[in-house]
Amino acid sequence: MKRREFTLAAAAALLAPAAPVRADNYPSKPVRLIVPYPPGGGTDTVARAVFERVATLMGQPFVVDNKAGAGTTIGLGELARSRPDGYTVGVGGTSDPLLPLLYDRLAFNPSADLAFVATLATVPIVLAAGPSIPAKTLQELLGVGRAKGAQPLAYASPGTASPHHLAGIYLGEMAGLPLVHVPYKGTSQALTDLVGGHVPLAMLGLPSALPFARQGKLKILGVATAQRSALAPEIPTISESGVPGFNAGYWWHVTVPTGTPQAVIAQLRDAVDKTLRTPALTESLLKSGFEPMLLSPAEAEKALREDTAKWTKVIRANNLRGG
């Protein structure tokens, strides 16, 4: 099977149900929650906020274990090797099925070895312009960037092959806008250089960019998602601002080792869904810069399949490798 076909097939396998097994006493002991990022980041913040409440519903603690490094492959690899009994759960993202394209000789296949449980939340990506760019809107930026003789514009992202990096490539392709990627090791330094005028543009998470925009230190030219964000509904989408159809969303989901009993998956999904419908949690996540995301397994499968196909093309066309 060709690698592209394998990747797409594996993406569907990620959401395939496990064999049905009764789990009337689940959970009867603490559950390990693997977060493949360092403490304090966005994924960690969302995971802790949600599973603190899930633990209350299910009557057992979910103990966060931060296993960061190598583009999430360390944490997800450990999750994939764990016993599929429901006592090791993890947090994944829409980029998981792309890992085999970005890293050689992975010891696991995240799509084949992990099973989808439930969606968690999304953090919108935005196109931000620093003080060195006079354009105040995306339309103005497109005019500048497409002008005859114009040099490609540099844009920062938090890392090579990150969702922000891919979104920038996709924007350049869809908009006919010459862009050059400048990778950083995380958001903080990218923001510092953007605000300082050392790099003209950046693709960043909305929660990181918004405070600087409200202080007048940068301009947010558009949100990369299909709809405006509840975090800042006054900011237009990139799609409505001159690049019709543009959508570069990123979302997190709960995942478990393949083979986890279907009854366990159903209990976890029910607890996560109930938690995400809690007004107090919704308010808490929004204040932290995250939007709760509730999709059925079928809806999640469709979204993941479409995202995987789109980003596979971008990765292959640009010969990207994991940072």
What pLDDT digit, counting tens, does each position of 251-262 carry? 999 999 999 999
Q: What is the pLDDT of residue 88?
A: 99
Residue 11 pLDDT level (bands cut at 50, 70, 90): low
- Our measurement of the distance from residue 109's CA atom to the centroid of its chain's CA atoms, rounded to an integer in Å, reads 18
pLDDT of 9 strictly over 50? no
Cα–Cα–Cα angle for 97, 254, 16, nearest 5°? Answer: 60
Q: Return the higher-pLDDT residue of 321 and 49.
A: 49
Kindly report the average pLDDT of the chain as a whole number. Answer: 92
Sheet architecture: strand order including 114-122: 62-66, 31-35, 88-93, 251-257, 114-122, 291-292
Q: What is the pLDDT of residue 308?
A: 95
CATH topology of domain 3-123+250-317: D-Maltodextrin-Binding Protein; domain 2 (3.40.190)
Tokens of 273: 């869904």
Tokens of 101: 């394209």
Residue 322 pLDDT level (bands cut at 50, 70, 90): confident
Q: What is the pLDDT of residue 20?
A: 43
How far is the CA of 271 from the CAs of 120, 254, 267, 312, in angstroms? 12, 11, 6, 32
Q: How far apart are CA 231 and CA 216, in angstroms?
A: 18
Q: Is 125-241 the same fold as 3-123+250-317?
A: yes
**Helix, strand, or coil here: 160?**
coil
CATH number of 125-241: 3.40.190.10
Q: What is the pLDDT of residue 3?
A: 47
Q: What is the pLDDT of residue 116?
A: 96
Q: What is the pLDDT of residue 119?
A: 98
Reported as a single tens digit per residue, the pLDDT across 222-257 is: 999 999 999 999 999 999 999 999 999 899 999 999
Structural domain boundaries of the chain? Answer: 3-123+250-317, 125-241
How far is the CA of 265 from the CAs of 44, 131, 256, 261, in angstroms? 21, 49, 8, 6
Residue 21 pLDDT level (bands cut at 50, 70, 90): very low
pLDDT of 117 strictly over 80? yes
- What percent of the chain has pLDDT above 70? 93
Reported as a single tens digit per residue, the pLDDT across 136-154 is: 999 999 999 999 788 999 9
Residue 113 pLDDT level (bands cut at 50, 70, 90): very high
Q: What is the pLDDT of residue 149?
A: 82
pTM: predicted TM-score of the whole model, two decimal places: 0.87
Paired residues of 292 in beta bridges: 121
Closest CA to 159 of 190, 128, 193, 122: 190
pLDDT of 63 strictly over 50? yes
Query: Region 272-296: what's the mean pLDDT?
Result: 95
Q: What is the pLDDT of residue 182?
A: 98
pLDDT of 1 strictly over 70? no
pLDDT of 294 strictly over 90? yes
